[in-house]
Amino acid sequence: MTATVNESIRNGVDTATLFATLDAVKGAPEAARFQFRAANEWISGTHNRGTIHRYFGVGEERTHEHVFQFDADHPAVLVGRDNGPTPVEFVLHALAACLTSGLANIAAARGVRLTSVTSTVVGDIDLNGVLGLNPKVRNGYEKIAVRFTVKGDAPAEKLREIVEQSRNRSAVYDIITNQVPITIDVATD
């Protein structure tokens, strides 16, 4: 069996490490307490820049291998200069990324080899809400629709079950479909 050496690698996921991580957290649940962070600096108008680098997890302060920076802006039709996506588009990206990551992990854990996974996420929003023109209209998305195309060495039904389990264990799906409390503090000096 020439494939033995890399038998634990499936879909680019090291399943041996994945299962070892799960076992380690079972024995020390506190290791799973994470704090993620983003910083932001206003540039001009609706243009601003976010930085993602430091986080806390598995008991200590950590840094990503790179400093990630992302510009956000509004397009001209929304009185911006289109230097980056709108903030609400980053939410759609986060949702697709979260479901896709989970899908790859779950397929690997279940012994399914994926060949391709693509998705589109669309969010409908009525900007009469954020513009303050209609108090009956909410500020955020009315609804979001995700469409996955998943291919791999398993029957369609099994591929669908893997997507369903990814939804069941998705952090971003939970954040959007349920409620997360947010506090905002302001310093002015």
Considering only residues 52 to 111 of the shown chain, the ones binding a second copy according to CB under 8 A are 52, 55, 57-58, 62, 64-66, 68, 70, 72-75, 77-80, 82, 84-105, 108
Asked if 28 interacts with a second copy (CB under 8 A), we say: no
- Determine the Cα–Cα distance for residues 4 and 16; give it in Å rounded to an integer: 13
Binding to a second copy (CB under 8 A) within 120-179 occurs at 120-134, 138-151, 156, 159-160, 163, 167, 169-179
- Smallest CA-to-CA distance from 95 within 175, 164, 25 is with 175
Least separation, in Å, of the C-beta of 4 and a second copy? 20
Question: Looking at residue 76, what DSSP letter applies?
Answer: G
Contact, 144 vs 122, CB < 8 A?
yes
Chain centroid offset of residue 54 CA:
17
Sign of the torsion angle spanned by Cα atoms 147, 148, 149, 155: negative
Sign of the torsion angle spanned by Cα atoms 158, 163, 164, 165: positive
Q: Among residues 7, 17, 113, 153, which is the contact residue for a second copy, using CB under 8 A?
A: 17
Least separation, in Å, of the C-beta of 30 and a second copy? 9
Least separation, in Å, of the C-beta of 19 and a second copy? 10
Least separation, in Å, of the C-beta of 42 and a second copy? 4
Asked if 112 interacts with a second copy (CB under 8 A), we say: no
Q: Among residues 1, 3, 5, 184, which is the contact residue for a second copy, using CB under 8 A?
A: 184
Between residues 1 and 79, which has the closer beta carbon with respect to a second copy? 79
Question: Looking at residue 177, what DSSP letter applies?
Answer: H
- Determine the Cα–Cα distance for residues 165 and 145; give it in Å rounded to an integer: 17
Q: Among residues 38, 111, 113, 153, which is the contact residue for a second copy, using CB under 8 A?
A: 38
Q: How big is the site for a second copy, counted in residues (CB under 8 A)?
A: 131
Asked if 8 interacts with a second copy (CB under 8 A), we say: no
Task: Provide the angle, in degrees to the nearest 10, between the axes of the packed helices 87-109 and 15-27.
Answer: 100
**SS3 call for 176:** helix
Least separation, in Å, of the C-beta of 163 and a second copy? 5
Least separation, in Å, of the C-beta of 3 and a second copy? 17
